[in-house]
Amino acid sequence: MKVFVAGAGGAIGRPLIPRLVEAGHRVTGTTRSAERGEEIRALSADAVVVDVFDAQALRTVMAEAAPDVVVHELTSLPERFEPRKKDLYEATNRVRSEGTRNLVEGARAAGARRLVCQSIAFSYAPRTGGLHDEGDPLFVEAPSAFGEATSVVADMERAVLDADGMEGLVLRYGWFYGPGTYYANDGAMAADVRRRRFPVGEGSGVFSFIHVDDAAAATVASVERGAPGVYNVVDDDPAPMREWLPAYARAIGARPPRRVPLWLARLIAGGFVATMSTTLGGASNAKAKRELDWAPRWSSWREGFRDAPR
């Protein structure tokens, strides 16, 4: 098939392109950088340099590519995650709203039959017990900037699922680790953990991780099969922060995180991080495994942190 990947130079785009090519698809990838365009071409894909906010230019390159499937992997998160900053999600919110709207309109005009869109599996509203499945509500009423960002995510998902004339699939990825992510050896999370800037308080919040290679494999599966709808793309081992953060520190050769009471964790890491560390719930991948015929190579972050490429 002809596959158009928007955001081909990102953390998922880089491992996704060669997997699509290997599966026999003809791939066109977008980027905002000529240098990244050369990297995409080196992976045996066509590359176009285009700004998603230039609706007419985007529609033109999509019409020329004439894709069967459009994959939306666009975000615009800062290189360093600083939850105290009020404008943390501002750029990516615009991508997920205005950018998604332009991409959906371009896909429809180009005659695409299927639209696959990235989302996040850590935006569910808190609840007591069990793992979140795809029918659980998102935390649109969360305080501060995260609530606004989650509302934008909900609108983005709805735009994809309701797109006229196309099969819409939403992939709610877990917390990425691997090359090009915050959790990479040279990533911002690694730098902060080495500085012991992420203490562990109660640490009861449950996180669901996914290696970028496994996320890319799930995305290929969603291009080729699966009914329209939402899928959690996470590993098999959701775990509380008090378990995974010390293991991550060991994997990158850092000292163990400080153990502090919740009130002090709020002062050190900020209210948002402290809240996530106590209220976040894990997600179930049962639907993705069943309906996409997919399973993560790194079934647990325990082995992935230690042995997977990072």
pLDDT per position as a tens digit, 167-193 = 999 999 999 999 999 999 999 999 999
The Cα 61–Cα 50 span in angstroms is: 8
Chain mean pLDDT for the chain: 93
Q: Is the pLDDT of residue 82 over 70?
A: no
Q: What is the pLDDT of residue 297?
A: 98
pLDDT band at 129, cuts 50/70/90? Answer: confident
Return the closest-CA partner of residue 224 out of 46, 64, 22. Answer: 22
| 105 compared with 202, residue with greater pLDDT | 105
Q: What is the pLDDT of residue 53?
A: 98
Range scoring the smallest mean pLDDT among 31-40, 120-129, 194-203, 246-255: 194-203
Helix (H) or strand (E) holding 242: helix 241-251
> How much is the average pLDDT of 15-38?
96
pLDDT band at 223, cuts 50/70/90? Answer: very high
Return the closest-CA partner of residue 290 out of 207, 221, 198. Answer: 221
